[in-house]
Amino acid sequence: MVWVEGVGAPAAALDRGLEFGDGLFETIAVAGARPRLLGRHLARLRAGAARLGLAVPSEPALTEELGRAAATPGAAVVKLILTRGAGGTGYGADPALATRRYVAALPARARAGDPARDGIAVATLATRLAEQPALAGLKHLNRLEQVLGRRELAGHPGAAEGLMLDVHGRLVCGTMTNVYLVIQGRLVTPSLVRAGVEGVMRAELLAGWASTGQPCEVRDVAPVELAAASEVFVSNALIGVWPVVAVDGRALAAGPVARAAQARVAAL
Which residues from 160-199 bind its own copies, rule CB under 8 A?
167, 175-176
The 73-112 contact track toward its own copies, x by CB under 8 A, reads xxx-x-x-x-xx----xxxxx------xxxxxxxx-x---
Question: Least distance (Å) from its own copies to the CB of residue 93?
Answer: 7
Q: List the beta bridge partners of residue 188.
A: 181, 217
DSSP secondary structure letters along 180-236:
EEEETTEEEEE--SSSSB--HHHHHHHHHHHHTT-PEEEE-B-TTHHHH-SEEEEEE
Residue 252 dihedral angles phi and psi, to the nearest 5°: -135, 160
Question: Least distance (Å) from its own copies to the CB of residue 234?
Answer: 14
Residue with Cβ nearer its own copies (98 or 222): 98
Residue with Cβ nearer its own copies (104 or 207): 104
Residue 135 dihedral angles phi and psi, to the nearest 5°: -120, -10
Q: Which amino acid is at 51?
A: R
- Interatomic CA distance for residues 262 and 257, integer angstroms: 9
Question: Least distance (Å) from its own copies to the CB of residue 23?
Answer: 8
Residue with Cβ nearer its own copies (3 or 224): 3
Residue with Cβ nearer its own copies (93 or 260): 93
- Interatomic CA distance for residues 90 and 202, integer angstroms: 35
**By CB under 8 A, what part of segment 124-153 binds its own copies?**
127-128, 130-132, 134-135, 140-151, 153
A 10 A CB-CB count for 239 gives 20
Residue with Cβ nearer its own copies (23 or 255): 23
- Interatomic CA distance for residues 10 and 49, integer angstroms: 28
Residue with Cβ nearer its own copies (147 or 228): 147
- With contacts defined by CB under 8 A, how many residues of the chain interact with its own copies? 72
3-state secondary structure of 30: strand
**By CB under 8 A, what part of segment 17-76 binds its own copies?**
17-22, 25, 27, 52-53, 61, 65, 69, 72-75
Question: Least distance (Å) from its own copies to the CB of residue 29?
Answer: 12
Residue with Cβ nearer its own copies (76 or 218): 76
**By CB under 8 A, what part of segment 191-250 binds its own copies?**
none
User: Which residues are CB-contacts of 167 (< 8 A; sequence separation ≥ 6)?
Assistant: 128, 129, 130, 131
Is there binding between residue 262 and its own copies (CB under 8 A)?
no
Residue with Cβ nearer its own copies (164 or 181): 164
Question: Least distance (Å) from its own copies to the CB of residue 253?
Answer: 27
- Interatomic CA distance for residues 222 and 265, integer angstroms: 27
Residue 107's closest CA among 78, 79, 75, 68? Answer: 75
**Tell me, what DSSP letter sits at residue 114?**
-
Question: Least distance (Å) from its own copies to the CB of residue 36?
Answer: 16
